[in-house]
Structure 1
Amino acid sequence: MITAEGLSKRYGDKAAVDDVSFTVRPGTVTGFLGPNGAGKSTTMRMIVGLDRPSAGRVTVNGQDYRRLRAPLTEVGVLLDAKAVHTGRSARNHLRALAATHGLPSARVDEVIEIAGIGSVSRKRAGKFSLGMGQRLGIAAALLGDPHTLILDEPVNGLDPEGVRWVRQFVRHAASEGRTVLLSSHLMSEMAQTADHVIVLGRGKVLADAALPELVRAWTTARVHVRSPRAAELAALVSGRDIEVVSTSPDTLDIAGLEAWRIGDLAADRGIPLHELTPTSGSLEDAYLALTGEAVEYRTRAVPADGAPLEEVVA
């Protein structure tokens, strides 16, 4: 279990993390989300003692990470896949880490196979692609068979097979009762992986909830309707607390009215329906709605002719 209580980190006048409290529980995959500059990486660094909090505290299984006698066997961490000796082979990098805790070479061979880097284990880590570097970083995090895993953007640079492998691996780890804290900017992947979500924005906790609850709270369910008499149907269903958006001459998106009710109203008027599809919001929709005011870095999309388009979140 990871517990943060009033955790803060300041760099001069800037609060990178501001009075953050949360609990990451065992047996679940907890997604750690937020825009660039939200404070996620700083928080993770404080969890494992790389940054000292300006205020508050954070513990792993009730202890300060820096007081753990054998941290590799307690917490597996991937914060920077490039943090390797570039002149060493992948296997020797792992052997050096294992030696700090007296772990046998057999365990090095095990994590090499788990991470799928057996064919390149004797090559220099400095020559690895981003994806292979990520796999090596995950192998290092697994060396001590830890009960807690902290993985920052572990699927960055991985191919689809690697992404699916990470997803299956962390879900299996949680099913064994391990604590898993996972950050990613890939909302579609997080939606398939996480059970619980913590969202940071400008250093503060914006949400801390089960993923389905977060989506329900920050998105609106809609019904997609296609009919040759869409305009007539729009007028029929319009009313207080009902939103009707015409997306084409024969299609509507309707919020505030259930699909069965729309079908009954159309049938009463003899309006043919060619499609009646309920749709729910996504994690991406909820995330953008939640963090819209907390985005610190933005870009502006510009078309080929140089005329500015609407502002787009980076």
Structure 2
Amino acid sequence: MLQAIGLTSARHRGLPPAVDDLTFEAGTGCVTALLGAPGSGKTAALRLMLELEPGRGITYFRGRALHRVADPAREVGVLLGDVPGHPVRTARGQLRMLCAAAGVPASRADELLDTVGLAGLGDQRIASLSLGMDRRLALACALLGDPHTLILDEPTEGLAAREADWLHGVLRSHAARGGAVLYTTSDPKEAARSAGHVVSIDGGRLVADQDAADFARTRLRPRVAVRTPHAARLAALVSREARAARRSVEVVTEASSSRLSVYGSSCAEIGDTAFRHGLPVHQLADEVGDTGPIGYTGPLVDRTVPGGGTPATDADGTGAHEPGVDESGVNGAGAAPQPAVRAAGPDLPPPIKRRPARGPLRPVRYELRRLFGVRTTTLIVAVALVASAGLSVLLARDGRTPLPNVLAAWPSLLPLPPAALCAGLLGALSFGDEFRYPALAAGRGTVPRRVGLLLAKLAVSAAVALLLALLVVLASAASLRLVYGGDLIRIPPNVMSLAVSWSGLTVGCAWAGLLAAGVFRVTAAGVAAVLAVPVLVVPLVQRMPKAPTARSVTGLPDRLRDLAWLQWPHEADRWVLAAMQVVAHPVGAALTVSLSVLICAYLFTSLRGRVRW
């Protein structure tokens, strides 16, 4: 069961709240429609329930607030708008990435594709899907964790009648299995046809809380739609004949002067009246009209919530009826429904804090599927390999460039070699793409502040950078052997320190791009941080005042071994010295400084975000 109590959105610039003390329930085993005209506060109410916006109130999902649920994906499935995924990602790839985020087996993706009728379109890109197929994929994303409650915002907007009927059938099937379904709509006919319970709101306030039968009886009325060039004369004739026959007939003139809506009559009676008086009729049809929401004019009712009391309940646990209100939620006159009124006195609903979505339960799997789920990664690696192979051949032509620079394809004209630039771009896309195409939760964006997700991104980006560095060296060596023969390539004596330097450069650029994109939430910021290392930071490091060396670090590995009582092999001493030489290099020092600043900025923004929310 879903219980929303006292939902009130925050005021903005003195405007009235979009949702004002809204209280209702969506029971288990039932489809509940939240009905309201555009701008009535339906979407704002859902966002308050999902803790996507600040305000007041509380929403219980089977007795627990959302931030108290250990695994929200298995409790609540959400459909807000279109699929928040990368447009070039396939439907199956999107679902598998979300499977890794939700901690469910990857086989669940194929099961849901078959459930929503997309089994044959799993390899289609998200951007190529039609509106109906996109909505089916969004529903599959909501059903991924097999949740108990489904919350959907205008799920049938823009869909054809056949697609809308199919979607409502899926919702009814979910409710029949013991789940709770809440969806918003602005069409009262759709609500009466597809829902078992209808909650009507207007101006952010509750105006009716009824089952479908009572809603159809009090809100929807059958009528005869008439279109004639003599609308005023026909209206007068119908009203006069109804008074003569002592029948209750209501004639309403629509906005168009040639259209009438007649309540309490039939097509045959209207047609006979027009025929007897020689009036032409261009349209005559039976319709179901919407009488619109009727505001509450009865006495105010005090209502408090947890943290400041609870609404009154009957012995059976249902809401206590107010004076003059029947079981359908309308008063004795059958017109004015019972509203939710702001609690009087000092007791107020508890505040709703805007909370970010939780990180993936399997962050490494999620990051791998995110990285290789699009062709951008493969394209960037291919560009790096081709550019490096071509540059290495050109650099080796004059014979003046050192062999390590030739193998790394690093001419003096470029601030960084292509491999380092591409590694930084891949790192920047690790966060930048997720902010552009959020995938973890609808309306929330991604969650870059989780330690597990950050460590997974750092590990995966470092592994990809090392693989790229190795492939570039192999591709450069192969191209040199092919063009100039094998005599040009000789293994230098300091190959260990060169390998550490090359690996540190690529990994450092990848991490710099990743952290900068995570701090500024833009891919371009990550690329700029990578380029700033050789362009800005290296000159600053080189211009630092250099004092004469008074002491030497010779023997540092031995002293470290004695300090930590460690018995590592003597081969490890070479690794320690190689790492020290890397840090002592201007580019290595610049990367170290840049990474330190970015880590501090990342931690600062993380702590500031936690304090804010």
When the two structures are superposed, what TM-score results if normalisation uses the length of structure 1? 0.73
Identity %: 34
> What are the superposed Cα offsets for residues 197-245 of structure 1, whole Å, 9 maximum, x if unpaired?
1112111111111122123223556699xxxxx9999756527783364
Give 1:87 deviation, angstroms.
3.0
Cα distance in 1 for residues equivalent to 2:223 and 2:94: 52
In 2, are the aligned partners of 1:47 and 1:60 still within 8 Å (CA)?
A: no
Match of 1:43, SS? helix
Partner of 1:17, secondary structure, is: coil
Specify the alignment match of 1:8 in structure 2: 8
Contact 1:215 1:281 in 2 (8 A): no
Deviation at 1:51, TM superposition (A): 1.7
Using the alignment, how far apart are the partners of 1:120 and 1:7 within structure 2?
40
CA distance in 2, matches of 1:93, 1:254: 51
Q: 1:26 to 1:280 in 2, by over 3 A?
A: farther
CA distance change for structure 1 residues 9 and 123 in 2, over 3 Å: closer, same or farther?
A: same
Aligned residue in 2 for 1:310 = none
Q: What does residue 94 of structure 1 align with?
A: 95
Deviation of the 1:37 alpha carbon: 1.5
Stretches of structure 1 lacking an aligned partner (at least 5 in a row): 225-229, 263-278, 292-314
Report the more deviating stretch, 149-158 or 34-43: 149-158
Larger RCO, structures 1/2 (Cα 8 Å, 6+ apart): 1
Which residue does the alignment assign to 1:238?
243
Find the counterpart in structure 2 of residue 77 from structure 1.
78
DSSP 3-state at the match of 2:20: strand
- Judged with a 3 Å threshold, the aligned counterparts in structure 2 of structure 1 residues 159 and 217 are, in CA distance, closer, same or farther, namely closer
Change (3 A) 1:101 1:223: closer
Give the counterpart letter for 2:249 in structure 1.
Answer: E
Q: Structure 1 residues 111-120 or 236-245, which shifts more?
A: 236-245
Amino acid of the structure 1 residue aligned with 2:132: G
Distance in 2, matches of 1:222 and 1:159, equals 25
Contact 1:134 1:156 in 2 (8 A): no
Higher strand share: 1
Distance 1:238 1:119, change over 3 A: same
Q: Could you say which residue in structure 2 is the equivalent of 1:42? A: 44
TM-score scaled by length of structure 2: 0.39
Please tell me whether the aligned partners of residues 238 and 244 of structure 1 are also in contact (alpha carbons under 8 angstroms).
no
Structure 2 residue 130 is matched with structure 1 residue 124: no
User: What CA distance in whole angstroms lies between the structure 2 residues aligned with 1:146 and 1:232?
Assistant: 58
Alpha-carbon distance in structure 1 between the residues aligned to 2:252 and 2:85: 54
Say whether the 8 Å CA contact 1:216–1:281 is kept in structure 2.
no
Q: Distance in 2 between matches of 1:217 and 1:157?
A: 27
Question: Distance in 1 between the 2:251 and 2:174 partners?
Answer: 44
Alignment-derived partner of residue 61 in structure 2: 60
Aligned residue runs from structure 1 range 154-233, under 5 A: 154-220=155-221
Q: Which residue of 2 aligns with 1:147?
A: 148
Pick closer, same or farther for the CA change 1:253–1:185 going to 2, 3 Å.
closer
For 1:87, give the aligned amino acid: V
How far the C-alpha of 1:99 sits from its partner, in A, is: 0.9
Deviations 1:26-82 (A, max 9, x none): 111111111112111111112222223x22211211111122111111111101214
Alignment of 1:20 onto 2:9: no
The aligned amino acid for 1:215 is A
State the alpha-carbon separation in 2 of the partners of residues 153 and 42 from structure 1.
13
Report how far residue 254 of structure 1 moved: 6.2
In structure 2, the residue matched to 1:31 is: 33
Change (3 A) 1:219 1:74: closer
Please say which structure displays the higher CA radius of gyration: 2
* Structure 2 unaligned spans of 5+: 226-233, 254-260, 270-285, 296-613
The alpha-carbon deviation at position 175 of structure 1 amounts to: 1.6
How far is the alpha carbon of 1:290 from its aligned partner? Answer: 3.9
Give secondary structure in 1 for the equivalent of 2:18. strand
SS of 2:135 mapped into structure 1: helix
1:55/1:289 CA distance change after superposition, 3 Å = closer
Larger fraction in helix: 2
* 1:189 aligned counterpart, secondary structure: helix
Q: 1:17 to 1:222 in 2, by over 3 A?
A: closer
